[in-house]
Structure 1
C-alpha cells in the first residue's frame, strides 16, 4: 500500500495513470503525450508496475500498459476503511449531541 502511494506521489506518474485510465497505451504513445523521454516513461512505468498499479501485455514487439484494478482496489479499500471510520465517528458525535439536547 505504501509503495503504491509513494509511486503516485510523483506528478509524471500521476499523468501516466490518468492517461492509462482512458485507454491502454504503449511507452511510445505515452512519451508523445508527456514532457519526458521514452526511457523516462519506461522507468516510471516500471515503478508503477512494481507498485501493482499498472500491468502490461505483449502485442507484437510492443508492451501495452493498462491500469491494474487490483492495485487500485487496495488503495480504495484503505481509503474506504478510513472514510467508514470517519463517518462512524461523525454519527456517534451527532448522536451524543442529540442526547444532550433531550
Structure 2
C-alpha cells in the first residue's frame, strides 16, 4: 500500500476525512472548494487534507498559489483489495462455521 495500512485506516476513521475523500474521488478540487462543504475552519480542513496526504490517500498539486487535491487511484485500489480480502476471509469463516454446524446436525440425525 502507498501509505502504511495503519495510517490509512486511522485517516479514514474520521468522518470528515472520508467525506473529503469522497469529494476528491471523482474530481480535482482546490482546498477552498473542499472547505466550502464543511462547517469547520479552513485550517481544520487543511489538517484533514494533510492527514490524508500523509497516508497516501490523496495527491496534491500546485496551480500557482492554489493547492489542488485528488484521490490517489492507486491507494484507493490497494485499500479496496485489503477490504475485499478481509471480506472474503469473513465469508469463508462464516461458510465453514455454517457447514460445520450443518454437518454435525446431519451426522447426529444419521446416528439416531
Report the RMSD for the aligned CA atoms in angstroms.
2.0
Matched residues in 2 for 1:2 and 1:42: separation? Answer: 21
Which runs of 5 or more structure 2 residues have no equivalent in the other structure? 108-112
Q: CA deviation at 1:101?
A: 2.8
Out of 49, 52, 58, which is 1:45 matched to?
49
Q: Does 1:23 align with 2:32?
A: no
Is 1:90 aligned with 2:94? yes
> Which runs of 5 or more residues in structure 1 are unaligned?
none
State the aligned residue count: 102
Q: TM-score, normalised by structure 2?
A: 0.76
